[in-house]
Amino acid sequence: MNLPLGYRFAALHAGIRKNLELDLALMVSDPEAAAAGAFTRNVVKAAPVVLCERHLKQSKGRCRAIIVNAGNANCATPTMAKVARATASATAKAVGVPVNRVLVSSTGVIGEPLDEKLIIEVLPTLCGQLSQQHFPEAARAIMTTDTVPKTAWSVVEMPEGEVRIAGMAKGAGMIQPKMATMLSYIFTDAVIPADELRKMLKTVLGRTFNRISVDSDTSTNDTVLLLANGASGVAVTKANRERFESALGNVAESLAVAIARDGEGARKLLTIDVEGAVSERAAETIARAIANSPLVKTAIAGADPNWGRFLSSAGASGVEFEPSKVDIHVNGFLVCRCGCRADFDEPEVQKTMEADEIHLRFHIRGGGSGCARFWTCDMTEDYIRINAEYRT
Amino acid sequence: MNLPLGYRFAALHAGIRKNLELDLALMVSDPEAAAAGAFTRNVVKAAPVVLCERHLKQSKGRCRAIIVNAGNANCATPTMAKVARATASATAKAVGVPVNRVLVSSTGVIGEPLDEKLIIEVLPTLCGQLSQQHFPEAARAIMTTDTVPKTAWSVVEMPEGEVRIAGMAKGAGMIQPKMATMLSYIFTDAVIPADELRKMLKTVLGRTFNRISVDSDTSTNDTVLLLANGASGVAVTKANRERFESALGNVAESLAVAIARDGEGARKLLTIDVEGAVSERAAETIARAIANSPLVKTAIAGADPNWGRFLSSAGASGVEFEPSKVDIHVNGFLVCRCGCRADFDEPEVQKTMEADEIHLRFHIRGGGSGCARFWTCDMTEDYIRINAEYRT
């Protein structure tokens, strides 16, 4: 892994998660980084989200350190704001930076008080472990019900030199980011001013983290942070911006898709392409409706090319279209032609649907140029098991 | 059961469902009835829905017969319109009424051709069985994945005499009626003009069938029909309208709640009351968001008073409210006070949540007068099992 220069990471078990997994991560940028963030649109916001928004405003988009705990969302408790502030202050002191250069995230159960002492007491140890090499441990420490850590990286060759991008993400349930998503941190050593970074993040999110859904729930803690510390000395300019953004988009897409694939209880990744809608937004609305339909998600689990459900869920999306112009392909097989059953070999299609990646193409004949790709996962009995027994 | 006068019912097994259950129902009103209908808003509409809309328009809201089959939705096939027309024509001939006095419904799998001969051939037998006493059999013949038939009735004592209301409904999955719901037929022998009947149906639906959700999917076939044949000789007038509407509301509510309770795989009915929103519509939006959250529905399945999920799902509804003003009661226990955990005995509340009826009260302190009641069910592993294996 060719990690971006000027970032160090550390992780340990602070005792916030009940098991003995890593549950606290510190991420430090040694040159101060430009930073952009995107956060949940839920009106119930966890204290760390509110604190991040405030610090990014105060610092005009500058960041030196991110502290993240798993196991407790620090949300909906009387002490949440105090705990987030205390965590930020102690981290600022330990790292030796102004407090508004510190960003804080939490993820886990809602409504249980988070004891900030668990974090504050181990900060010296955590700081002592900081190293570029601990990026994978940090990615592991932000997990909750995730079954695998999610990382992605890219090296971008530009005429002026190489820059690197590396990202991590967590999330498996309560996922339908409308604005941001679960937790994700993306680092680059390119030189990018904060206002440019914000625009870039918005563009990239629109087609990646905002295009995934596990269970249609939007969390109180969703956070994506993008840092650019300039340690490579290579600036992103008008001339090379497209190349950089494309690499950044790939990293973000990898992370977003990894979240959909690791959806709670999921065994399959479902990629949905909608084409021929009147606009990209209409295509996205149709794709999201298909992705969020429990009947679609259970059909995918059952390897059932039940195209009637795909068509019906699209029809309930609120977007107008002519059902008799719709073709649906599953794994390349035409299963619905002009809104009716196509002539396909059902056992053959079912067999391809036993794979762990399913592709659904929803095409409106003679429609507009609006298209969108969306990712979700199947819904299995394990989703129920995980969520009915979450706290027991 | 004190059934409305002037209606006759019949049901038999026509071979549309693979098992040997009843799958065809005929309902006849002997005096011609005024009729009002409400139908799915899905842009993918089954042919019977389109036919009902056309016939109600042509007849200016008059109806003599309803023919309903289960086991096949007659939707998304090249022949669907022809099949619906042929079914209506044959029924009209068999009953001896004009074709636009016949309404047709279908429910079941989407995209498989329905063989109208299965229906047409048994129409003479079906007509021979017509009797007021066969109301329960008709209610059974419209079922698909329902585990119980759903009926409700009421006798309304009015100064001018008695009138009777009786209704039946079916539905267990693909249920989040936005306009109408699954199939439901409500009959009264009161005298009510068609235009009055339409207004009445709209009012009643808004607070009953439009306030339930099983899995947030809206079907292609949703239909509610309300018939008033005047056989009692008692007219609903300005003076007694409130009493009649209240009884009609109770019948519709019973049927709607029965659908939520019988949700696919459900073991519990969840009743959600939202109070203190800025408007009834805002309250309904919050209640619907809570009801549709898979995390809420799995928490209910797990008897888990996980109020953080209730609060978070409300916060993601798109309605603005102040989280710190929210109280949440579960089965009468205050579990969330001012947006934070209340002081409650968790095992005690969990124990009450093992019952098959759960009540959730979401109250915004010092808020507006908007309130709404909504019904849904828990989501269990059986929901997945039923829907992943539906066609196998």
B-chain CB neighbours of A385 within 8 Å are: 381
Cβ of B42 within 8 Å of Cβ of A315? The answer is yes
Q: Is the dihedral of CA B80, B83, B87, B89 positive or negative?
A: positive
Concatenated DSSP letters of B33-57: EEEEEEE---SS--HHHHHHHHHHH
Residue B42: the pLDDT is 87
Q: What is the ipTM of this complex?
A: 0.83
* Residues of A tagged active-site: 181
Cβ of B43 within 8 Å of Cβ of A388? The answer is no
Q: Which spans in A47-149 are helix H?
A: 47-58, 80-95, 116-120, 123-128, 135-141
* Residues of B tagged active-site: 181
| Residues A349-365 pLDDT 10s | 999 999 999 999 999 99
- The mean-pLDDT minimum among A23-32, A192-201, B301-310 falls in B301-310
The label of the residue with tokens 């659908």 reads B259
Residue B339, chain A, CB below 8 Å: the answer is yes
> In chain B, positions 170-199, which contact chain A (CB-CB < 8 Å)?
173-174, 178
Q: For residue A341, what are the CA distances in angstroms to A62, A202, A335, B42, B388?
A: 56, 40, 6, 19, 20
Are A128 and B329 spatial neighbours (Cβ–Cβ below 8 Å)?
Answer: no
CA distance A227 to A232: 13
Chains A and B: how many Cβ contacts under 8 Å?
Answer: 193
Are A170 and A162 spatial neighbours (Cβ–Cβ below 8 Å)?
Answer: no
Residue B363: the pLDDT is 98
Strand partners, A224: A38, A184
Q: For residue B274, what are the CA distances in angstroms to B189, B291, B312, B361, B364?
A: 35, 11, 14, 6, 8
- Neighbouring CB atoms inside 10 A of B242's CB total 10
Cβ of A315 within 8 Å of Cβ of B73? The answer is no
CA distance A370 to A388: 39
Beta carbons within 8 Å of A183's beta carbon, 6+ residues apart: A68, A105, A107, A142, A169, A170, A171, A221, A222, A223, A224
CA distance B147 to B171: 10
Suggest the residue from A45, A175, A181, A312 to mutate for an interface test with chain B (most B CBs closer than 10 A).
A312
Question: HSE of B13 in the Cβ direction (CA atoms, 13 Å)?
Answer: 7
Residue B77, chain A, CB below 8 Å: the answer is yes
**pLDDT tens-digit profile, chain B (392 residues):** 789 999 999 999 999 998 889 999 999 999 999 999 999 888 889 999 999 999 999 999 999 999 999 999 999 999 999 999 999 999 999 999 999 999 999 998 888 899 999 999 999 999 999 999 999 999 999 998 888 999 999 999 999 999 999 999 998 665 554 333 489 999 999 999 999 999 999 999 999 988 987 666 667 888 999 999 999 999 999 999 999 999 999 999 999 999 999 888 889 999 999 999 999 999 999 999 999 988 899 999 999 999 988 999 999 899 999 999 999 999 999 999 999 999 999 999 999 999 999 999 999 999 999 999 999 999 888 888 877 874 54
The label of the residue with tokens 């004592």 reads B157
Beta carbons within 8 Å of B177's beta carbon, 6+ residues apart: B40, B209, B210, B212, B218, B222
